[in-house]
Amino acid sequence: MVFLSAKGGAGTSSLCANIAMNISQHEPQARVAVIDLVLPIGSIGPIVGYEGSQNIVSVADMPVAASGPQFFRDQLSEIKLWRFNLLSGSPDPESSNYLNVSRIWDIVTSIRAEFDYVFIDLGRSLSKISLPLIQNADLITLVVSTDMSSVSLTKTLLEYLRAKGVKDSNIYTILNRAIGLEGVSKADAEKDLNISIKSAIPYLGSNFALANNQHQPFSLKFPRDTASVMFMEAAKEMTVLAQKLRAEQNLS
């Protein structure tokens, strides 16, 4: 599953981490991995409190023979509180300049071979690096903020993805009220985008910032919050849809 948005500030990375955690919580036996491909600076590491040295740049610089499926099975960083393994993003803009992009597909393929669910956070990084990942993903999670500029940019992004062969059935759209109580409604967003909004996350206010600042999953920090239920429901829907789409792809 890839996570992306057409505009920064939509909460894409936070949603990616929290939904990945909820899937792991819902399916305790499943192995879940998150890959941070937000450039030029990774976003997931600061959210989950990762402070290790392993990241997408260092791994992409390793010899192919030393970074195959077994390496990721044994060595991919485990974020215990979040219940997933993480390949952190670029630690700074300078490091991203040295990313060996030719290794990205091999890395993703190797991780997919060892984990039941693989999340790739792309943020708003739409490029020749990310497009093949989007086109080959079982599910594309498109995060939309409620401001009109986000909706307008998302419409342009959707038209581009459709032109590249991406089907609406492979897109799981989340309307995230990240900027406050104001903004477009779910119905208006669906009308403007001409696509169904699968999930709408309410404005979480300071609670979301507090959970992020303490590097805690929102559902663990605020288990009784309505949004925690919505995160779990979205996680369940996404797993069912992704498995259905994978099965249909295998049959074809």
CA angle 154, 212, 234 (to 5 degrees): 50
Task: State the Cα–Cα distance between residues 213 and 197, nearest whole angstrom.
Answer: 29
pLDDT at 184: 85
pLDDT at 196: 93
Domain ranges of the chain: 2-251
**Arch. (CATH architecture) of 2-251:** 3-Layer(aba) Sandwich (3.40)
pLDDT at 203: 80
b (16+ CB within 10 A) / e for 108-119 = bebbbebbebbb
pLDDT at 107: 96
pLDDT at 83: 96
pLDDT at 212: 86
How many Å separate Cα 140 from the centre of its chain?
A: 9
pTM above 0.85, yes or no: yes
Which amino acid would we find at residue 84? F
pLDDT at 84: 97
Q: Which contiguous run of DSSP H or E holds residue 5?
A: strand 2-5
pLDDT at 104: 95
pLDDT at 181: 61
Would you call 93 exposed, middle or buried from its count of C-beta atoms within 10 A (0-12, 13-18, 19+)? exposed
Q: Which residues of the chain have pLDDT under 70?
A: 178-181, 252
pLDDT at 105: 94
Q: What are phi and psi of 48, to 5 degrees?
A: -95, -5
- For 182-233, the pLDDT digits (tens) are 778 889 999 999 999 999 988 877 888 889 889 999 999 999 888 899 999 9
β-strand 84-87 against 77-79: which pairing, if any?
antiparallel
Report the C-alpha dihedral over residues 94, 95, 101, 107, rounded to 10 degrees. Answer: -160
